[in-house]
Structure 1
Amino acid sequence: MPLTLRQFRFTAAIFDMDGLLVDSERVTQRAWIDAAQARGIALEEVDYLQVVGRASADSDAMLTKLLGGPGVFELVRADVAARLSDGGPAPLFPLKPGAASLLQALRQAGVPCAVASSSRRDEIEHRLARVGVLQHFHAWAGGNEVPRGKPDPALYLLAAARLGVDPIQCLAFEDSENGARAAQAAGVAVVIVPDLKRPGAEVVERSYGVLESLVLAHDHLPHWFPAP
């Protein structure tokens, strides 16, 4: 059951990307499961969920073990890359409901925004440009730019530093438990918008609130951020 969303004035917002801003997690999960199955390997959804929200190096290591070794992993990864080719007229990973209007509202309110994503920096730029929202962000931090990925706080600390804002003055939006833990460890308040997997009770209890969709965030903006 969603928590009552608390009220505190923040000065900046930090967003996760995959599964939060863009609907990418389900497509990516399906690609890995199907590519593994094509080689006779049963990669279950519950296994794949272990890697959601983690940096590429961490998720690659976990998938290598799940798939049976580095050789098989490289073959499956190449297949996944082909399945996830984003060269069509429409973006492979569309914006999630409420994302565009929320970012526009924050921009109009003068609230600086950043991205803290486990994806590589170039992937952040590509995916957000494809869906037309990259211009709303003042900064972004990718998983390839920090020594340890989520749930380590490094990504959120880097994003806040690039905004020039104290982490305690930032409100984060996350879909995964690993992401929520990363924000909390950095001292950043976090609103959880679950995607593939709902976070555990302990993470939810320490969150700023839980929403079923970014659409529902609009009504809370006057309470979360100062008026322009």
Structure 2
Amino acid sequence: MFAAAIFDMDGLLIDSERPIMAAWIEVARTLGIELSHSQYMQVVGLSTVESEVVLASLLGGAAAYTHAVGLVRQRLQLERSDGTPLFPIKSGAAEMLAALRERGTRCAVASSSTSAQIQACLGSLGVDPADCIAFEDSENGAKAALAAGLRVVVVPDLKHPPASIAEQAFHVLDSLHDALAHLSRWFPQQAMQKV
């Protein structure tokens, strides 16, 4: 049984990876640069700094990257001007969070954190990393969570985990909906604390 759940945000709780990828590919095309789906996939799951290096290389240098990133931001802002969310919530995420809230399970969101940051954050809550499940969609996120001593449930988004990660994972699921069936075993009902 586990005491807390830690969720990655992009690609797991919100469907951000696809619209961002589409924006980068379209902006590159308008700049006369052919950025393929497979080329863009190199940045999925990387930190911001690592992504910048890869994209700058794919686009022809730092100046091209700087110009493109401004256009990508504009494109993404235009898409949300109609009142719809920029990034919709992923299937099963709302139900999962509501079910954990009902159980009194502590939840947190982590994104591109180092193992030291994860341990410091959990330690300040009095939670041992071994008592936590990290829900991740990316290989690098899963690696960081495993290195920090957390159990990892992988819910792939754009890329499936390599065998080395899948073998170390607590579970690999198709969606957060699939995780709902495991909640009673993974997270015991907690006594609700008065605030």
Aligned with residue 70 of structure 1, among 62, 74, 82: 62
Query: Any runs of at least 4 consecutive aligned residues in structure 1 with deviations exceeding 2 A, and if so which?
Result: 152-164
CA drift at 1:202: 0.7
Counterpart amino acid of residue 28 in structure 2: A
Establish whether residue 58 from structure 1 lines up as the match of residue 50 from structure 2. yes
Q: 1:172 to 1:36 in 2, by over 3 A?
A: same
Residue matched to 1:223: 185
Q: How many residues align?
A: 188
Q: 1:38 to 1:161 in 2, by over 3 A?
A: farther
**CA offsets 1:39-62 (integer angstroms, 9 cap, x no match):** 111112122112112221121122
CA distance in 1, matches of 2:57, 2:85: 31
SS in 2 for 1:84: helix
RMSD of aligned Cα (Å): 1.5
Give ranges in structure 2 of 5+ residues lacking alignment.
Answer: 191-195
Residue matched to 2:7: 15
Q: 1:200 to 1:39 in 2, by over 3 A?
A: same
Q: 1:159 to 1:32 in 2, by over 3 A?
A: farther
TM-score of the aligned structures, taking structure 1 as reference length: 0.78
Structure 1 or 2, whichever has the larger Rg, is: 2
Residue matched to 1:126: none
Establish whether residue 95 from structure 1 lines up as the match of residue 89 from structure 2. yes
SS in 1 for 2:11: coil
**CA offsets 1:132-167 (integer angstroms, 9 cap, x no match):** xxxxxxxxxxxxxxxxx5xx5345335424543111
Give ranges in structure 1 of 5+ residues lacking alignment.
Answer: 1-8, 119-148
Is the 2:105–2:189 Cα contact (8 Å) retained in structure 1? Answer: no
Residue matched to 1:105: 99
Residue matched to 1:189: 151
Residue matched to 1:125: none
SS in 2 for 1:40: coil
CA distance in 2, matches of 1:87, 1:214: 29
Equivalent residue runs for 1:1-228 within 5 Å: 9-85=1-77, 86-118=80-112, 152-161=114-123, 163-228=125-190
Is the 1:171–1:191 Cα contact (8 Å) retained in structure 2? Answer: yes
Identity within the alignment, %: 51
SS in 1 for 2:46: coil
